[in-house]
Structure 1
Amino acid sequence: MTDSDDAIRVWLVERTYSDDEQNIVILTYATPDGEQYFRKERSLTSFSDVRDTTAAVDAAPENLGSTAPDDREAYAAEARRMAAEHDPEDVI
């Protein structure tokens, strides 16, 4: 999360587990139009390592990437669904 006034709210659209390394969770957040995404990688160090995943985060514009054309529609649909059903700070 960022305190910057120009931060962009992105919504959780995908949670995957890395095939390459064990205990890596990849969280993908996207803008409601699906055009940009923000990716967080989280290493789980133990079963007691509990960190909340929220429905949305605010990301600095320089930390956003352009979504691949094949993913835009799906990311947009999921981001809009999450925004409609959850408050940003809801734990998912």
Structure 2
Amino acid sequence: MTGEEHDEQGGEDASEGAGTERVWLVERDYTDAGLVTVVYASTDGERHLQQRLSKRMVVRSSVTAAREIQADRLEPTPDAKRDRYATEASRMADKHDPDNTV
């Protein structure tokens, strides 16, 4: 593939480079329907990516502390969540290497 790698979580991660942004895991929720919602956000909390994964997918593959994501896949973070996402993303960046399984 040119410039993109298929990640373990079933989405498209971009190789590091132009047009990508590193985002950090800020939220993980489990539902009764067998899904896991993971949210990755920028350290300023301004942008985020939310994905819903099956529990089987999460068990089979690792959720890492950070990911490199194409910038155009990131959404603006709602005002009510921005500070919390910024705090948690910064904490993750300080405590973990991007490829750490968390």
TM-score range, shorter chain: 0.7 to 0.9
Structure 2 matches for 1:1-92, cutoff 5 A?
Answer: 1-3=13-15, 4-18=17-31, 22-45=33-56, 49-92=59-102
Aligned residues: 88
The gaps in structure 1 that reach 5 residues or longer are: none
Name the CA distance, whole Å, in 2 between partners of 1:70 and 1:88: 26
Shift of 1:51: 1.2
What is the TM-score normalised by the length of structure 2?
A: 0.80
What is the TM-score normalised by the length of structure 1?
A: 0.88
CA RMSD across the alignment: 1.5
**Normalized per residue, which structure has more strand?**
2
**Structure number with higher relative contact order (C-alpha < 8 Å, ≥ 6 residues apart):** 1
- Closer/same/farther in 2, CA of residues 44 and 83 from structure 1, 3 Å limit: same
The gaps in structure 2 that reach 5 residues or longer are: 1-12
Name the CA distance, whole Å, in 1 between partners of 2:93 and 2:14: 19
Percent of aligned pairs with the same amino acid = 36
Shifted more, 75-84 versus 4-13: the winner is 4-13
Shift of 1:45: 3.6
Letter in 2 for 1:82: M
- Closer/same/farther in 2, CA of residues 7 and 45 from structure 1, 3 Å limit: same
